[in-house]
Amino acid sequence: MERSTGYRIDELARRFNLEARGDPSGVIRGVAPLARAGSEHLAFLANPRYAADLARTHAGVVVLRAQQADASPVPVLIADDPYLSYARIAALFEPASASAPGIHPSAQIAANSRVDASASIGAGCIIEAGVDVEAGVTLGPHCVIGPDCKIGAGSRLVANITLVTRVSLGKRVLIHPGAVLGADGFGIARDADGWVKVPQLGGVRIGDDCEIGANTTIDRGALEDTVLEEDVRLDNQIQIAHNVHIGAHSALAGCAAVAGSANIGRNCLIGGGAGVLGHLDVADGVTITAMTLVTRSIREPGVYSSGAPIEENRAWRRNAARIRQLDAMARRIQALEQRLDTLTKDRT
């Protein structure tokens, strides 16, 4: 990402309240990794595993912590959180999406829907009855907005996104291609002859400033709404089931899944491939590491993990065989403890 005019290093320091060390007159026109950055690039160092790249970098400036500044051969910007500061600076170099207001001739809009004059409706979009599209909304190509949906001001649906029905988006929501919000939750009741579908009568409510990744699905509630509070961030290919509630500022990495009626607190982090079973509560401030399966409610903040880390196959097979023997081993240990307790009592 590069910008033709660029920003002086001292300008970036003032703008983002950072301390500049070294020559502050250099002009930065883009961002790049430490190992590949040139004299017009800004790089950052947040992870110690890349510290060796710092000594060899040709970046114009590096964002890092104060204790790493002396190791840099180029000017630096001192930050308490280099990754956060990098994220804010890098946004300056992200090309702005230019979506002109208006409705593409191929779009189809129901007569009783309302589309603000400042909204941009792309090619092939379909907007059904009772939809409200607020100011500054961008609908990319081939989005389908089902009945009784609302899209809050400044939201952007990139392309090929479906809001099935009764979906309400807050302001400045960003949804990436292929996401589906408001599809039926997985509600079925057992009958002697098979399954009976349970009607899904709720909706989906997405708070302000949320981001929803590509091909992620969020089901509408069975009776009440499925809810994401403000500033929730979902990665790609995530499944959020019906009646789930996710608290503000939580983030879920790719392929995570949350089953029906689970309640995730605020400021939670859920790693890739993790699963949360239905009807469980997860407290505020919980981190769940990748591939963890949550089978009980978590009442206290902290870091939680499950699953077996990778190891050499032969060792894994031996350990797996021992796991199958654990119950029998536990019973033998319990019997030995009881015999030892009896012998101890007899001697006394």
Strand order through the sheet with 2-8 = 2-8, 27-31, 41-44, 61-64, 76-78, 19-21
CATH superfamily of 102-304: Hexapeptide repeat proteins (2.160.10.10)
Answer whether 57's CB lies under 8 Å from 41's CB: no
Closest by alpha carbon to 222, among 200, 239, 203?
Answer: 200
The pLDDT score that the predictor gives to residue 17 is: 97
The pLDDT score that the predictor gives to residue 342 is: 85
**Across 51-55, 111-115, 153-157, 340-344, least confident range:** 340-344
Predicted confidence (pLDDT) per residue in 148-166, tens digit: 999 999 999 999 999 999 9
CATH superfamily of 2-93: MurE/MurF, N-terminal domain (3.40.1390.10)
Confidence class of residue 69 from pLDDT cuts 50, 70 and 90? very high
Closest by alpha carbon to 169, among 139, 226, 112, 210?
Answer: 210
The pLDDT score that the predictor gives to residue 2 is: 52
Residue 63 and residue 33: Cα distance in Å, rounded?
11
Residue 320 in this model has a pLDDT that exceeds 60: yes
The pLDDT score that the predictor gives to residue 343 is: 85
Residue 95 in this model has a pLDDT that exceeds 80: no
Predicted confidence (pLDDT) per residue in 194-203, tens digit: 999 999 999 9
> Average of pLDDT values for 210-234?
97
Residue 100 and residue 96: Cα distance in Å, rounded?
12
> Average of pLDDT values for 197-217?
97
Confidence class of residue 66 from pLDDT cuts 50, 70 and 90? very high
Residue 43 in this model has a pLDDT that exceeds 60: yes
> Average of pLDDT values for 326-340?
91
Confidence class of residue 19 from pLDDT cuts 50, 70 and 90? very high
Predicted confidence (pLDDT) per residue in 253-309, tens digit: 999 999 999 999 999 999 999 999 999 999 999 999 999 999 999 999 999 999 888
Catalytic residues: 242
Domain positions in the chain are 2-93, 102-304, 315-347
Provide the mean pLDDT of the chain: 94
Closest by alpha carbon to 159, among 144, 177, 175, 146?
Answer: 177
Closest by alpha carbon to 276, among 246, 290, 256, 251?
Answer: 256
Phi, psi of 20 (to 5 degrees): -95, 135
The pLDDT score that the predictor gives to residue 3 is: 53
> Average of pLDDT values for 76-88?
96
The pLDDT score that the predictor gives to residue 293 is: 97
Residue 97 in this model has a pLDDT that exceeds 80: no
> Average of pLDDT values for 94-121?
91
Predicted TM-score (pTM) of the model is: 0.89
